[in-house]
Amino acid sequence: MVPGAGRGAGLRPTLARVAVSAPVLRRALKRQAPSLDIERAVWASGHDVVVGVDEVGRGAWAGPLSVGAAVLPRDRRVYKVRDSKLLTEAEREALFDRIASWCRAWAVGHASHEECDALGMADAQRLAARRALDGLGLEPDHVVVDGRWDFVGGGRVQRLVRADAVCLSVAAASILAKVARDRIMRAEAEHFPGYDFDLNKGYPCPRHKLALAAMGPSAIHRRAWVFMDHLPWTALHRPRRHVDAAPGGGYPGPMTDPEEPSEEPTDERDDEPSEERLEQLQDDIDHARKTGEDADVLIDPDERRFYQSGDQSDEDDQTIAPPG
């Protein structure tokens, strides 16, 4: 797997390209539709390119961290888009081509498991976001990110908790990123039988823990993570991070080889964590609450939800008259 960005079409789709079979919405999801309110407010202020950004894979033990970016058109709406965590894998797959064709531009950037180990999750997420934005082929005027932490930068970012549930472009980005990463993990499952990557997508679950105890980590596991501390495979090489007094306070320093410690190791931190670090920690707490991750799940935490049968939604895609 080569880290980078998966490009979406940069041109607006025709109606025929969007006419892909839509999933049947479960009754519980019909009243949870994100809207274009945020995008319309930004467009009304004179900005043109509004990018929704969302990440997936931060809590996984294996595989890449992925960030999706989506730019929506003003005059066309694809319905049945929801926060990716509310949808089943089959529903996300059914929506993927519709969303990709509908977007004015889209991209998914990845940070590999090696980059997650070497950089730490904060910088790896920034790297994946940069790759996603570079893959758009458009210069963003305004970026909406899910959560309290700005991992994009550039002074053009709007942070919004649960943006993937209320902002349509972020919801679209969340589905694009989730499906792109899931496809990577399903492909990797063929190379690493026994880890159930096609089912758990690299996330923690009992069968994943048993596979690690029995076989050790695969080539795509993140070896700097704490779960490695509890494995019986003590001779494994693991990248290790010492703590530097990083600019702004709080972030771990670069990885160091266990046999070659830094010339000036230090355990010192600023007494008060930086505002950025506090925002990231709160974002992690919100993320954990949303996904409900725990030690008893058997599959990807994004797949755990109550299934409710519902009738075919009467929502249809439609062309929206541009504002006068």
Higher local confidence (pLDDT), 196 or 252: 196
Convert the pLDDT of each residue in 71-102 to its tens digit: 999 988 777 888 898 888 999 999 999 999 99
State yes or no: pLDDT of 292 exceeds 60.
Answer: no
Average of per-residue pLDDT across 302-313: 36
Confidence of residue 126 (pLDDT cuts 50, 70, 90): very high
Predicted confidence at residue 104, as pLDDT, reads 96
Q: How far is CA 203 from CA 22, 44, 182, in A?
A: 28, 41, 11
Angle (nearest 5°) at CA 45 between 43 and 51: 40
The tokens of 85 are what?
């965590």
Lowest mean pLDDT among 2-6, 166-170, 210-214, 278-282: 2-6
- SS3 of the chain: CCCCEEECCCCCCCHHHHCCCCCCCCHHHCCCCCECHHHHHHHHCCCCCEEEEEEECCCCCECCEEEEEEECCCCEECCCCCCHHHCCHHHHHHHHHHHHHHCCEEEEEEECHHHHHHHCHHHHHHHHHHHHHHCCCCCCCEEEEEECCCCCCCCCEEEECCHHHHEHHHHHHHHHHHHHHHHHHHHHHHHCCCCCHHHHCCCCCHHHHHHHHHHCCCCCECCCCHHHHHCCCCCCCCCEECCCCCCCCCCCCCEECCCCCCCCCCCCCCCCCCHHHHHHHHHHHHHHHHHCCCCCCCCCHHHCCCCCCCCCCCCCCEECCCCC
Rounded-to-integer distance, Cα 59 and Cα 296, Å: 15
Rounded-to-integer distance, Cα 76 and Cα 268, Å: 53
Give first-to-last CA distance, the chain, whole Å.
47
Convert the pLDDT of each residue in 106-123 to its tens digit: 999 999 999 999 999 999
Lowest mean pLDDT among 33-47, 52-66, 264-278: 264-278
Closest alpha carbon to 197 in 209, 210, 182, 212: 182
Please answer whether residues 293 and 301 qualify as being in contact, where contact means their C-beta atoms are separated by less than 8 angstroms: yes
16-46: b (≥16 Cβ within 10 Å) or e: eebebebbebbeebeeebbebebbeebbeee
Domain range annotation of the chain = 5-187+308-319, 193-274
Confidence of residue 70 (pLDDT cuts 50, 70, 90): very high
Convert the pLDDT of each residue in 138-162 to its tens digit: 999 999 999 999 999 988 999 999 9
Please answer whether residues 173 and 52 qualify as being in contact, where contact means their C-beta atoms are separated by less than 8 angstroms: yes
| Residue position matching structure tokens 């990709």 | 100
165-174: b (≥16 Cβ within 10 Å) or e: bbbbbbbbbb
Q: Give the side-chain half-sphere CA count within 13 A for 219.
A: 6
Average of per-residue pLDDT across 32-59: 93
Convert the pLDDT of each residue in 249-262 to its tens digit: 333 333 333 333 33
- CATH class assigned to 5-187+308-319: alpha beta
The tokens of 163 are what?
């943006």
Predicted confidence at residue 190, as pLDDT, reads 96
Length of the chain: 324
Rounded-to-integer distance, Cα 81 and Cα 116, Å: 30
The tokens of 78 are what?
């694809």
